[in-house]
Amino acid sequence: MANVSIAIHGGAGTILKKDMTAVREMEYKSALQQALDSGYRLLSKGAGSVEVVEQTVIMLEDNHLFNAGKGSVFTAEGKHEMDASIMDGRSLKAGAVTMVANVKNPVELARKVMEESEHVFLAGIGAEEFARLKKLEFKNDKYFYDEFRYKQWMDIRGTDRFQLDHSPEEDKFGTVGAVALDQSGNVAAATSTGGMTNKKYGRVGDSPIIGAGTYANNKTCAVSCTGSGEYFIRGVVAYDVSCLMEYKGLDLNEACRVVVHDRLPQIGGDGGLIACDSRGNLALEFNTEGMYRGQQSTTKQSKVEIYK
Ligand code: ASP
């Protein structure tokens, strides 16, 4: 079998062992492990990388532990506005959606945009209309209700504060993403998020922005990011990793290290990313206390980790 590889993340942030109960830690680890196993199984069976990152992110979106899909945080208006994107490294095609409500799996919608529309990026009610046209599943508000998320929102509701899901006051994190290399040598990346608690004014982060939160190119790598979205947009982080490889000849690990530990902190950004290249190398870098993450490849045993 040709080399395959996969990495996933469930958000980066101030994740400290001392703040975590054993039960909680186990819940996160088993959710990550299940998604990782299922993604790797698909790759082993010969599935394409686009299919694999989509299906893996769907599993994470369906888990209330993560701030994406079902577990999305509350906006200032008490709603859920979700963002997602996906990119195919072989064709450089991409699809993204932002500010969508009630769509069960925003990443599935992003893939539909990529493959069944002439566009790359759809927003709000227009994106929802497209989802209906494509017969995607919708869920009512109750499905997206999570007690913990609601409390997070109640704490800052009515104030001008908004909260990144990975800021120090928080202990629940969770933008999700996946990158993969398939047996044909194609890479792909996908990212999905509920954004920030109490966000308003139609705030959009990096996750649905191609080049910022997500990027894939067979020539270089596939990248999915998590962290303080505003900085990831300004740093064009996912594309920056690819550029360092393409134009400066850095290898995957060097490129990721430079971006996460030098360039991003220089502008004040915190968070992390996962990346794979077309030779099967994987990189999982973060400049925060922790990042929910997992990886497996033909040459690397399956591993799920949380802390530094
Ligand atoms: N990057 C996401 C955003 O800014 C949040 C996160 O990764 O936790 O919307």
Q: Tell me, what DSSP letter sits at residue 28?
A: H
Find out whether the beta carbon of 193 lies less than 6 Å from any atom of ligand 1.
Answer: yes
Report CA(246)–ligand 1 centroid distance (Å): 26
- In the chain the first and final C-alpha atoms are separated, in Å, by 32
The alpha carbon dihedral of 73, 99, 75, 139 has a sign of negative
Find out whether the beta carbon of 166 lies less than 6 Å from any atom of ligand 1.
Answer: yes
Given this model, what pLDDT does residue 189 score? 99
Q: Which domains does the chain have, with CATH numbers?
A: 5-307 (3.60.20.30)
Global confidence as pTM: 0.95
Given this model, what pLDDT does residue 160 score? 75
Instruction: Give the integer Cα–Cα distance in Å for 196 and 233.
Output: 15
3-state secondary structure of 123: strand
Q: Are 162 and 197 in contact (CB under 8 A)?
A: yes
Find out whether the beta carbon of 194 lies less than 6 Å from any atom of ligand 1.
Answer: no
Which atom of ligand 1 is the closest one to the Cα of 232? 1
Instruction: Give the integer Cα–Cα distance in Å for 268 and 80.
Output: 27
Which atom of ligand 1 is the closest one to the Cα of 166? 8
3-state secondary structure of 148: helix
Contacts of 151 (CB under 8 A, 6+ apart): none
Given this model, what pLDDT does residue 29 score? 97
Find out whether the beta carbon of 10 lies less than 6 Å from any atom of ligand 1.
Answer: no
Is 175 among the residues known to form the active site?
yes
Report CA(23)–ligand 1 centroid distance (Å): 25
Instruction: Give the integer Cα–Cα distance in Å for 271 and 231.
Output: 9
Residue of 99, 171, 193 to mutate, ligand 1, most atoms within 8 A of C-beta? 193
Given this model, what pLDDT does residue 157 score? 82
Residue 118 buriedness (CB in 10 A; 0-12 / 13-18 / 19+): exposed
Q: Are 302 and 293 in contact (CB under 8 A)?
A: no
Find out whether the beta carbon of 226 lies less than 6 Å from any atom of ligand 1.
Answer: yes
DSSP annotation string for 39-92: HHHHHHTT--HHHHHHHHHHHHHTSTTSSSGGGPPP-TTS---EEEEEEETTTT
Report CA(91)–ligand 1 centroid distance (Å): 26
**Catalytic annotation, pick one of 75, 98, 175, 226:** 175
Instruction: Give the integer Cα–Cα distance in Å for 221 and 212.
Output: 14
Find out whether the beta carbon of 280 lies less than 6 Å from any atom of ligand 1.
Answer: no
Q: Which of 233, 161, 227, 199 is nearest to 74 (CA)?
A: 199
> Could you tell me whether strands 93-100 and 290-297 are parallel, antiparallel, or unpaired per DSSP bridges?
unpaired
Q: At what angle do helices 49-61 and 106-116 cross, to 10 degrees?
A: 150
Find out whether the beta carbon of 175 lies less than 6 Å from any atom of ligand 1.
Answer: yes
Given this model, what pLDDT does residue 171 score? 41
Residue of 163, 203, 207 to mutate, ligand 1, most atoms within 8 A of C-beta? 207
* Ranges of residues in the chain whose predicted pLDDT is under 50: 166-168, 171-172
Write out the H or E segment, with its range, that includes residue 149.
helix 147-156
3-state secondary structure of 293: strand
Given this model, what pLDDT does residue 164 score? 62
Report CA(299)–ligand 1 centroid distance (Å): 31
